[in-house]
């Protein structure tokens, strides 16, 4: 009889806990808009020493998260972390080559150990190599896929160890409009960005049992150092001016001829990290001024 009542009380406690969680989430969504609060959360952002990754890391820190600035350049990562600490935020530099499995595991574990948990992964590290398929070397092909796709896999695997253990987590992959589109001279980039959609969708299904969700953010052209480097490269390859590259190639398919900004994407990354339910898991989010509509 005692065992029966113990089991009954445990079931009632579990039901009440779920009911309280649902009520809290409903309350958050009923108050006009969702809270963009990351207090108590810990985030790892790769490629975060500069550009888009740095803006995402700063945005998370200002929302209350402790942030790991993961980058292949340790000095730049430390400088970015110091900027956050100077504003009163919590951050640590994490030296990480995302293609090196041991470095990824060690860096991820060091962040989780320093702050006690890991709630958010933003897989953002990336490079660009412009070349037509018939001139592209196998070495460049492998390098692109290693950084964009292997890096996403390795950082995901390292993060899941902690997220599964705590039964919660959010993984955000930095895709591109090129996750849905294709452009000349970008075969490995387009291939890798399409691949992120598959990884995200599988993780959404596998992670659901552990309350881990996944998303892909798909920006249009964001004027980061990576994109600025492409402008003269494409002008040379196509035999046109840099102004024509920007107007006709990069922004020609947008509805307003505008670049996407790093803050546009950082705010979307914050929204997804702070969202209280799994309703968007497995989905990609296009942010490119109407370049690709789906």
Report, as residue numbers or ranges, the catalytic residues. 189
d(CA 84, CA 224): 20
d(CA 25, CA 29): 6
Q: What is the Cα Rg of the chain in Å?
A: 21
Say if CB 123 and CB 52 are below 8 A apart: no
Q: Retrieve residue 98's tokens.
A: 């995302």
Q: Which residues contact 67 (CB under 8 A, 6 or more apart)?
A: 42, 43, 44, 45, 48, 57, 60, 61, 81, 84, 89, 90, 91, 92
Q: Retrieve residue 246's tokens.
A: 């920007």
Of residues 120, 149, 135, 142, the one with CA closest to residue 48: 120
d(CA 36, CA 120): 14
Question: H-helix or E-strand containing 55?
Answer: helix 51-62
Of residues 51, 53, 43, 59, the one with CA closest to residue 174: 53
Say if CB 288 and CB 254 are below 8 A apart: yes
Of residues 264, 120, 240, the one with CA closest to residue 184: 240
């Amino acid at each position: 009889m005692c065992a029966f009542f113990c089991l009954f009380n445990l079931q009632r406690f579990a039901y009440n806990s779920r009911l309280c969680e649902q009520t809290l989430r409903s309350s958050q969504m009923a108050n006009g808009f969702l809270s963009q609060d990351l207090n108590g959360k810990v985030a790892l952002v790769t490629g975060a020493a500069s550009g888009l990754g740095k803006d995402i890391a700063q945005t998370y820190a200002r929302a209350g998260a402790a942030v790991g600035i993961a980058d292949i350049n340790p000095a730049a990562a430390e400088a970015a972390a110091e900027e956050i600490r100077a504003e009163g935020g919590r951050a640590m530099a994490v030296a990480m080559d995302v293609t090196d499995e041991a470095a990824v595991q060690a860096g991820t574990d060091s962040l989780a150990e320093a702050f006690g948990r890991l709630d958010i992964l933003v897989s953002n590290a990336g490079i660009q190599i412009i070349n037509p398929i018939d001139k592209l070397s196998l070495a460049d092909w492998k390098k692109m896929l290693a950084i964009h796709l292997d890096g996403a896999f390795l950082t995901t695997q390292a993060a899941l160890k902690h997220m599964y253990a705590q039964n919660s987590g959010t993984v955000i992959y930095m895709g591109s409009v090129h996750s849905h589109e294709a452009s000349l001279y970008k075969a490995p980039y387009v291939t890798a960005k399409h691949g992120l959609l598959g990884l995200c969708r599988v993780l959404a299904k596998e992670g659901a049992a552990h309350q881990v969700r996944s998303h892909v953010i798909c920006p249009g052209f964001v004027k980061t150092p990576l994109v600025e480097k492409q402008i003269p490269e494409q002008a040379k390859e196509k035999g046109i001016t840099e102004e024509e590259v920007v107007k006709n190639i990069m922004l020609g398919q947008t509805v307003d001829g505008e670049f996407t900004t790093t803050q546009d994407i950082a705010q979307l990354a914050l929204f997804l990290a702070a969202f209280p339910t799994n309703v968007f898991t497995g989905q990609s989010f296009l942010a490119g001024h109407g370049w690709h509509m789906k």
